[in-house]
Structure 1
């Protein structure tokens, strides 16, 4: 039989003997290595916008329509019949966005769906200003988003966002609300 080598760790023989006496009769604890059960995640659903309403909002967006061609890095558009000072007021930051949509990392189809959802949400909540962050990247969404926006009847104006909201990678939108529509009918 092989004898265990003793390690001299600076503990006296008395302390070692006292320790052995104190643990006499101790039983090892059984270790359970069962990982905690994680409940499966529920799939997220859009609760505020129905599928039918989303399809109706997507109706306004055509990928073939190219009515807006940017001549510079600053984007600005105004719906006909609106106050010509609105884009300048958006540029100066006189309107604060009440909601922000970030389209980073999305495909064009995902971005189109999310943009339609944003416009429906703003209409439902009566928000008149929103910020859409499309990013710079390859410029695909930077070209598509303005063309989609000018097709939607609820968009009054948009302008490149101020620096605090994303500058050339974002747009500030000014939207129609039901109260503005009622005032226009009077």
Structure 2
């Protein structure tokens, strides 16, 4: 059953019962000679800006460009001692050169105070940055603290195809709180070895 709407009451329709007769007449006399106001307000019109939205710098990293590190992949379970790694098929003496401090890092990443997720993102960003800048040696300072990053960082690094080797840093670069990395760049292996920065 539909509900019927009551008829609208206008000023000309008069009162609905005799009780309101006096009030209605008083109101009609009071508003006699008036006329409705015209709309004098102008609604704002949204104007489109001709300026383009600022674009992000070309070297800014997006999630799609970052290398995905798995937390399940674990080779280095014990990180208290010296860590050393050389990618399969690469020169086994590279870790020794890193250990002796023969190679100076061209960039340093400090992960102190970061969560594991932040550190993972920053590490992927570092590797992307080194590839863009053609840097083949870097230092990652993970600190000691509770040992969470000290354990995760080497296990993340061995998953990246551009990491040729890493070793616990010499004392001048942080010792057990840091790793020196040797990275691939877009050159032949022989050229990379010749171009390694000497300390």
Per the normalisation by structure 1, the TM-score is: 0.68
User: Is the helix fraction higher in 1 or 2?
Assistant: 1
* 2:67 corresponds to: 58
Q: Tell me, which stretches of 5 or more residues in structure 2 are unaligned?
A: 1-55, 193-199
What secondary structure does 2:66 align onto?
A: helix
Runs of 4+ in 1 over 6 A off after TM superposition: 181-184
Q: Any idea what the Cα deviations from partners look like across 1:18-45, whole Å, max 9, x if unmatched?
A: xxxxxxxxxxxxxxxxxxxxxxxxxxx7
Whether contact under 8 Å (1:49, 1:121) holds in the other structure is no
Q: Residue by residue, what CA displacement relative to the aligned partner does 1:27-81 show, whole Å, maximum 9, x if unpaired? A: xxxxxxxxxxxxxxxxxx7762331xx434332x101111223375101011000
How many residue pairs get aligned? The number is: 137
Question: Alignment partner of 2:153: what SS?
Answer: helix
Q: Is residue 69 from structure 1 mapped to residue 77 from structure 2 by the alignment? A: yes
Preserved contact between residue 86 and residue 95 of structure 2 (Cα < 8 Å):
yes
TM-score, normalized by length of structure 2?
0.64
C-alpha offsets along residues 127-151 of structure 1, whole Å, 9 cap, x if unaligned? 0000000000000000000000000
How far off is 1:181 after superposition? 6.3
Point out the structure with max Rg over C-alpha.
Answer: 2
CA distance in 2, matches of 1:139, 1:62: 18
Gaps of 5+ in 1: 1-44
Question: Residue 104 and residue 146 in structure 1: after superposition, are their counterparts in 2 closer, same or farther (change >3 A)?
Answer: same
RMSD (Å), alpha carbons? 2.0
**2:17 paired residue number:** none
Distance of aligned partners of 1:111 and 1:163 in 2 relative to their CA distance in 1, 3 Å threshold: same
* Residue of structure 2 in register with 1:143 after alignment: 151
Kept after mapping to 2: 8 A contact 1:58/1:112: no
Counterpart of 2:186? 178
Q: Are the equivalent residues in 2 in contact too, given 1:49–1:117 (CA < 8 A)?
A: no
